[in-house]
């Protein structure tokens, strides 16, 4: 990733401020620091007497964003948001006033040609946020049988052509390994019929499934939904932005069934038409918010 300023535009930025209610002196956690768009707004709201603790599994994002937010009350840490209780213990922070998770990719990650998040990338098909852990997506594709690959694509990508894609992937890899995003995207496009009016690339759901798998995203979200409410002070709020139904379903059910929380958003908050026009990646965003009940 280049050293230029971030390209990322924070999704539902004003809505996050409205629902999370950061105030001067508050301590807020941005568990998905990314390009730092939300963290900047939160830091400006809490002021010099407050603190924003920014976490991200992506070392590159943490380093770049920490530099971009220098001078603001932001502590950027390379860590998984599921480990927040331990992080707060290390910082001697007893509780926080708000927690934000934005579960989408940042524009900076999509622009990074070295890890395969972009379909056009000729770099390695990696897809990991933390490249020091787990296996890259190209290796996963190489190892899995057609049946297991199809199941993965269907379960995590909700792709109805999963079996057709998996069969084609296994046919192609017999001739030569599929090691770049551009290679995989071409294989998928050759496998899936595309309607003229379809807005998303046919490769989108398969890439989503592989990214979720290599990063164990749903597992860590479930862990966070169990652990993070205990990090909130009474009256503190947790706001989560999801981008597909698997995540949103987990968040909805966890908020509804957690005796520690009171749901603030009966229906998810969606981006306005104006925001989607400016930032098309916001179109599938859903924000849900819950508040920690008195002890």
Domains held by the chain: number: 2
Same domain, 133 and 202: yes
Query: What is the pTM assigned to this prediction?
Result: 0.91
Same domain, 30 and 92: yes
Same domain, 141 and 202: yes
What is residue 80's DSSP assignment?
-
Same domain, 34 and 160: no
Residues 155, 278: Cα–Cα separation, whole Å:
31
Same domain, 212 and 224: no
Q: Average pLDDT per run of 10 along the chain, which is 295 residues long?
A: 57 98 98 95 98 95 94 97 98 97 77 73 88 92 96 96 97 94 94 76 93 95 98 98 95 98 97 94 95 93
Domain of residue 174: give its range.
113-216
Same domain, 193 and 224: no
* Domain boundary, last residue among 151, 182, 216: 216
User: Residue 13 has what pLDDT?
Assistant: 97
Residue 1 covered by a domain: no
Instruction: Confirm if 69 and 43 have CB atoms less than 8 A apart.
Output: yes
Residues 261, 93: Cα–Cα separation, whole Å:
21
Same domain, 245 and 235: yes
Instruction: Confirm if 290 and 254 have CB atoms less than 8 A apart.
Output: no
Residue 3 covered by a domain: no
CATH number at residue 156: 1.10.150.170
Residue 43 covered by a domain: yes
CATH number at residue 53: 3.40.50.150
Residue 2 covered by a domain: no
- Phi-psi label, residue 79: left if phi above 0, alpha if psi -120 to 50, beta otherwise: beta
Residue 283 covered by a domain: yes
* Domain boundary, last residue among 184, 216, 248: 216
Same domain, 191 and 225: no
Residues 220, 57: Cα–Cα separation, whole Å:
11
User: Residue 2 has what pLDDT?
Assistant: 39
User: Residue 193 has what pLDDT?
Assistant: 81
User: Residue 1 has what pLDDT?
Assistant: 41
Same domain, 212 and 222: no
Same domain, 95 and 236: yes
Instruction: Confirm if 189 and 203 have CB atoms less than 8 A apart.
Output: yes
Residue 240 covered by a domain: yes
User: Residue 293 has what pLDDT?
Assistant: 98
Packing angle of the helix pair 162-175, 181-191 (nearest 10 deg):
130
* Domain boundary, last residue among 216, 236, 256: 216
- The DSSP-derived string for 175-234 is HS---BHHHHHHHHHHHS---TT--S-TTHHHHHHHHHHHHTHHHHHHHHHHHGGGGEEE
Residue 206 covered by a domain: yes
Same domain, 146 and 158: yes
Residue 123 covered by a domain: yes
Instruction: Confirm if 99 and 238 have CB atoms less than 8 A apart.
Output: yes
Same domain, 120 and 210: yes
């Amino acid at each position: 990733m280049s050293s230029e300023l971030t390209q990322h535009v924070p999704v539902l930025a004003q809505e996050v401020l409205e629902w999370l209610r950061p105030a001067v002196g508050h301590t807020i956690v941005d568990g998905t620091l990314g390009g730092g768009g939300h963290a900047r707004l939160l830091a400006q709201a809490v002021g010099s007497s407050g603190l924003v603790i920014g976490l991200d599994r992506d070392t590159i994002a943490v380093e770049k964003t920490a530099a971009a937010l220098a001078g603001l009350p932001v502590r950027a840490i390379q860590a998984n948001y599921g480990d927040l209780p331990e992080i707060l213990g290390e910082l001697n922070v007893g509780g926080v006033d708000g927690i934000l998770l934005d579960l989408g990719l940042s524009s900076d990650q999509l622009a990074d040609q070295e890890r395969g998040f972009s379909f056009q990338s000729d770099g390695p098909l990696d897809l990991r946020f933390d490249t020091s852990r787990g296996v890259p997506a190209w290796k996963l594709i190489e190892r899995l049988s057609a049946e297991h690959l199809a199941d993965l694509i269907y379960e995590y990508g909700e792709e109805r052509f999963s079996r057709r894609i998996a069969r084609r992937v296994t046919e192609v890899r017999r001739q030569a390994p599929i090691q770049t995003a551009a290679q995989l995207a071409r294989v998928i496009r050759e496998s899936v019929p595309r309607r003229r009016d379809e807005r998303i690339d046919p490769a989108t759901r398969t890439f989503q499934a592989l990214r979720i798998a290599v990063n164990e995203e749903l597992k860590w979200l479930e862990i966070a939904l169990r652990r993070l409410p205990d990090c909130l002070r009474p009256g503190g709020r947790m706001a989560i932005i999801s981008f597909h139904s698997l995540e949103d379903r987990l968040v909805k059910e966890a908020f509804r069934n957690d005796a520690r929380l009171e749901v603030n958003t009966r229906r998810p908050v969606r981006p306005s038409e104006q925001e989607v026009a400016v930032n098309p990646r916001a179109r599938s965003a859903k924000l849900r918010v819950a508040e920690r009940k008195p002890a």
